[in-house]
Protein backbone atom coordinates (compact mmCIF):
# COMPACT_ATOMS: atom_id res chain seq x y z
CA UNK A 1 0.00 0.00 0.00
CA UNK A 2 1.29 3.44 -0.89
CA UNK A 3 2.24 5.44 2.19
CA UNK A 4 0.47 8.78 1.74
CA UNK A 5 0.99 9.92 5.33
CA UNK A 6 3.93 12.24 4.70
CA UNK A 7 2.24 15.33 3.24
CA UNK A 8 -0.61 15.65 5.76
CA UNK A 9 1.91 15.51 8.59
CA UNK A 10 3.29 18.89 7.59
CA UNK A 11 0.25 20.64 9.04
CA UNK A 12 -2.00 18.16 10.80
CA UNK A 13 -1.52 19.81 14.18
CA UNK A 14 -1.26 23.43 13.11
CA UNK A 15 -4.79 23.52 11.71
CA UNK A 16 -6.25 22.77 15.13
CA UNK A 17 -3.86 24.46 17.50
CA UNK A 18 -6.31 27.21 18.43
CA UNK A 19 -9.15 24.74 19.00
CA UNK A 20 -7.46 22.61 21.66
CA UNK A 21 -7.33 23.56 25.30
CA UNK A 22 -3.72 23.89 26.55
CA UNK A 23 -2.67 23.06 30.07
CA UNK A 24 -1.92 26.07 32.20
CA UNK A 25 1.72 27.21 32.28
CA UNK A 26 3.96 27.75 34.13
CA UNK A 27 3.19 24.41 35.70
CA UNK A 28 3.97 23.31 39.27
CA UNK A 29 7.13 21.40 40.11
CA UNK A 30 7.21 18.10 38.16
CA UNK A 31 5.81 15.11 40.04
CA UNK A 32 8.37 12.38 40.70
CA UNK A 33 8.49 9.12 42.64
CA UNK A 34 10.41 5.95 43.25
CA UNK A 35 11.24 3.72 40.26
CA UNK A 36 8.16 1.71 39.29
CA UNK A 37 5.78 3.93 41.27
CA UNK A 38 2.47 4.85 39.66
CA UNK A 39 2.40 8.65 39.48
CA UNK A 40 -1.00 9.01 37.82
CA UNK A 41 -3.63 6.67 36.42
CA UNK A 42 -7.12 7.01 35.04
CA UNK A 43 -9.70 4.44 34.04
CA UNK A 44 -11.95 7.33 32.95
CA UNK A 45 -14.74 6.21 35.29
CA UNK A 46 -15.41 9.81 36.36
CA UNK A 47 -15.61 12.83 34.10
CA UNK A 48 -14.09 15.03 36.79
CA UNK A 49 -10.48 13.79 36.54
CA UNK A 50 -9.38 16.86 34.61
CA UNK A 51 -9.09 15.92 30.93
CA UNK A 52 -9.95 18.56 28.33
CA UNK A 53 -13.46 17.98 26.93
CA UNK A 54 -15.41 19.65 24.16
CA UNK A 55 -17.72 19.10 21.20
CA UNK A 56 -17.98 21.18 18.03
CA UNK A 57 -18.43 20.75 14.28
CA UNK A 58 -14.94 19.30 14.02
CA UNK A 59 -15.46 16.52 16.53
CA UNK A 60 -15.77 15.39 20.12
CA UNK A 61 -13.41 14.79 23.03
CA UNK A 62 -15.09 13.36 26.13
CA UNK A 63 -15.36 10.56 28.66
CA UNK A 64 -17.37 7.69 27.16
CA UNK A 65 -18.01 4.00 27.91
CA UNK A 66 -15.28 3.65 30.52
CA UNK A 67 -12.72 5.41 28.37
CA UNK A 68 -11.84 8.71 26.75
CA UNK A 69 -13.25 9.06 23.25
CA UNK A 70 -11.95 11.25 20.44
CA UNK A 71 -14.08 11.62 17.30
CA UNK A 72 -12.66 13.65 14.40
CA UNK A 73 -15.39 14.66 11.94
CA UNK A 74 -13.24 16.56 9.44
CA UNK A 75 -10.20 15.61 7.33
CA UNK A 76 -6.67 16.67 8.22
CA UNK A 77 -7.49 17.53 11.80
CA UNK A 78 -5.99 16.46 15.08
CA UNK A 79 -7.39 16.62 18.62
CA UNK A 80 -5.44 16.14 21.83
CA UNK A 81 -6.32 16.21 25.51
CA UNK A 82 -4.25 16.50 28.69
CA UNK A 83 -5.22 16.26 32.39
CA UNK A 84 -3.22 19.36 33.45
CA UNK A 85 -0.29 17.66 35.19
CA UNK A 86 3.48 18.08 35.11
CA UNK A 87 6.04 15.28 35.00
CA UNK A 88 9.71 14.89 34.18
CA UNK A 89 10.88 11.40 33.24
CA UNK A 90 7.89 9.11 32.70
CA UNK A 91 6.66 5.85 31.26
CA UNK A 92 3.17 6.44 29.86
CA UNK A 93 0.82 3.61 28.80
CA UNK A 94 -2.67 3.36 27.35
CA UNK A 95 -4.94 0.97 25.45
CA UNK A 96 -6.48 2.36 22.27
CA UNK A 97 -9.31 0.91 20.15
CA UNK A 98 -10.68 2.06 16.81
CA UNK A 99 -14.44 2.36 17.24
CA UNK A 100 -15.26 3.49 13.73
CA UNK A 101 -13.97 5.39 10.74
CA UNK A 102 -11.00 4.90 8.41
CA UNK A 103 -8.05 2.66 9.17
CA UNK A 104 -5.78 5.42 7.89
CA UNK A 105 -5.92 7.39 11.10
CA UNK A 106 -3.59 8.29 13.93
CA UNK A 107 -3.90 7.80 17.67
CA UNK A 108 -1.42 7.81 20.47
CA UNK A 109 0.31 9.34 23.45
CA UNK A 110 1.77 12.72 24.39
CA UNK A 111 4.54 13.55 26.84
CA UNK A 112 6.19 16.80 27.98
CA UNK A 113 3.38 19.06 26.84
CA UNK A 114 4.33 22.72 27.34
CA UNK A 115 2.12 25.56 26.10
CA UNK A 116 1.12 23.67 22.97
CA UNK A 117 4.48 22.02 22.24
CA UNK A 118 5.04 18.32 22.95
CA UNK A 119 6.36 14.90 21.89
CA UNK A 120 3.92 12.43 20.33
CA UNK A 121 3.92 8.67 19.79
CA UNK A 122 1.27 7.48 17.33
CA UNK A 123 -0.01 4.51 15.37
CA UNK A 124 -2.52 4.09 12.57
CA UNK A 125 -5.04 1.25 12.49
CA UNK A 126 -3.60 -0.04 9.20
CA UNK A 127 -0.24 -0.75 10.81
CA UNK A 128 2.00 2.34 10.84
CA UNK A 129 3.77 4.24 13.65
CA UNK A 130 5.80 7.41 14.31
CA UNK A 131 7.54 9.45 16.99
CA UNK A 132 7.61 13.20 16.58
CA UNK A 133 7.29 16.60 18.18
CA UNK A 134 5.13 19.66 17.73
CA UNK A 135 7.22 22.77 18.32
CA UNK A 136 6.74 26.40 17.40
CA UNK A 137 3.67 25.64 15.28
CA UNK A 138 5.39 22.93 13.23
CA UNK A 139 5.18 19.13 13.25
CA UNK A 140 8.48 17.27 12.97
CA UNK A 141 8.90 13.51 12.82
CA UNK A 142 11.95 12.21 14.69
CA UNK A 143 14.15 9.51 13.19
CA UNK A 144 11.91 9.10 10.14
CA UNK A 145 10.41 11.18 7.31
CA UNK A 146 7.02 9.45 7.25
CA UNK A 147 5.05 6.93 9.28
CA UNK A 148 6.63 3.47 9.05
CA UNK A 149 4.90 0.07 8.95
CA UNK A 150 5.15 -2.40 11.83
CA UNK A 151 3.65 -5.83 12.38
CA UNK A 152 3.39 -4.93 16.08
CA UNK A 153 0.29 -2.84 15.33
CA UNK A 154 -2.84 -5.02 15.41
CA UNK A 155 -5.59 -3.90 12.98
CA UNK A 156 -9.10 -3.79 14.43
CA UNK A 157 -7.92 -4.82 17.88
CA UNK A 158 -7.00 -3.17 21.15
CA UNK A 159 -3.45 -1.85 20.85
CA UNK A 160 -1.39 -1.28 23.98
CA UNK A 161 0.89 1.74 23.62
CA UNK A 162 3.81 2.73 25.81
CA UNK A 163 5.98 5.84 25.56
CA UNK A 164 9.14 6.21 27.64
CA UNK A 165 10.33 9.81 27.96
CA UNK A 166 13.56 9.58 29.94
CA UNK A 167 16.16 12.34 29.73
CA UNK A 168 16.69 13.00 26.03
CA UNK A 169 15.65 9.45 25.09
CA UNK A 170 12.22 8.69 23.61
CA UNK A 171 11.18 5.06 23.17
CA UNK A 172 7.94 3.79 21.68
CA UNK A 173 6.43 0.35 22.33
CA UNK A 174 3.40 -1.14 20.60
CA UNK A 175 1.89 -4.25 22.16
CA UNK A 176 5.06 -4.68 24.26
CA UNK A 177 7.35 -4.53 21.20
CA UNK A 178 9.84 -1.70 20.86
CA UNK A 179 9.22 -0.06 17.49
CA UNK A 180 11.22 3.17 17.71
CA UNK A 181 13.94 4.93 19.71
CA UNK A 182 15.14 8.51 19.16
CA UNK A 183 16.90 11.22 21.13
CA UNK A 184 15.81 14.84 21.46
CA UNK A 185 16.40 17.42 24.19
CA UNK A 186 13.93 20.22 23.41
CA UNK A 187 11.49 19.39 26.26
CA UNK A 188 12.54 18.17 29.71
CA UNK A 189 9.16 18.07 31.46
CA UNK A 190 5.47 18.81 30.97
CA UNK A 191 1.99 17.33 30.79
CA UNK A 192 0.99 13.96 29.38
CA UNK A 193 -2.03 13.08 27.26
CA UNK A 194 -3.66 11.39 24.29
CA UNK A 195 -4.30 12.45 20.72
CA UNK A 196 -6.12 11.30 17.60
CA UNK A 197 -6.42 12.69 14.10
CA UNK A 198 -7.51 12.19 10.53
CA UNK A 199 -5.76 12.17 7.18
CA UNK A 200 -7.78 12.73 4.01
CA UNK A 201 -10.81 10.76 5.23
CA UNK A 202 -12.85 12.08 8.20
CA UNK A 203 -14.74 10.09 10.82
CA UNK A 204 -11.81 8.86 12.93
CA UNK A 205 -13.32 7.51 16.14
CA UNK A 206 -11.08 6.01 18.85
CA UNK A 207 -11.36 5.11 22.54
CA UNK A 208 -8.52 5.31 25.06
CA UNK A 209 -8.62 3.18 28.23
CA UNK A 210 -6.40 2.25 31.18
CA UNK A 211 -4.16 5.31 31.10
CA UNK A 212 -1.20 5.14 33.47
CA UNK A 213 1.98 7.13 34.20
CA UNK A 214 4.84 5.31 35.91
CA UNK A 215 8.15 6.57 37.27
CA UNK A 216 10.84 4.80 35.18
| Tens digits of residue pLDDT in 49-88 | 999 999 999 999 999 999 999 999 999 999 999 999 999 9
Cis amide prior to 15 (ω within 30 degrees): no
Residue 16 or 105, more confident: 105
Q: How far apart are CA 71 and CA 52, in angstroms?
A: 14
pLDDT score for 5: 55
Residues paired with residue 71 on neighbouring β-strands, in sequence order: 60, 205
Helix or strand (DSSP H, E) at 178 = strand 177-183
Q: How far apart are CA 138 and CA 4, in angstroms?
A: 19
Residue ranges of the domains in the chain? Answer: 6-214
pLDDT digits (tens, 9 = 90+) for 100-131: 999 999 999 999 999 999 999 999 999 999 99
Contact indicator for 175, 3 with CB cutoff of 8 Å: no
Residues 31-59 have a mean pLDDT of: 95
Burial classification of residue 34, based on how many CB atoms lie within 10 Å of its CB (0-12 exposed, 13-18 middle, 19 or more buried): exposed
Domain 6-214 class?
mainly beta
Share of the chain above pLDDT 90, in %: 85
pTM: 0.90
pLDDT score for 15: 39
pLDDT score for 162: 99
Cα angle, residue 25 at apex, residues 21 and 29 outer, rounded to 5°: 130
pLDDT digits (tens, 9 = 90+) for 162-191: 999 999 999 999 999 999 999 999 999 999
Backbone phi, then psi, for 33, in 5-degree steps? -160, -170
Amino acid sequence: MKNNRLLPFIFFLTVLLSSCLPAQWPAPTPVTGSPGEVLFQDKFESNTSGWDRFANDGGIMDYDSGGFRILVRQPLLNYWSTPDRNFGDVRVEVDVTRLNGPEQNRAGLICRYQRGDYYFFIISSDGFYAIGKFIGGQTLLLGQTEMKPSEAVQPDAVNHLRADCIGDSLTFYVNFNEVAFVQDSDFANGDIGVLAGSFSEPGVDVLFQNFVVIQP
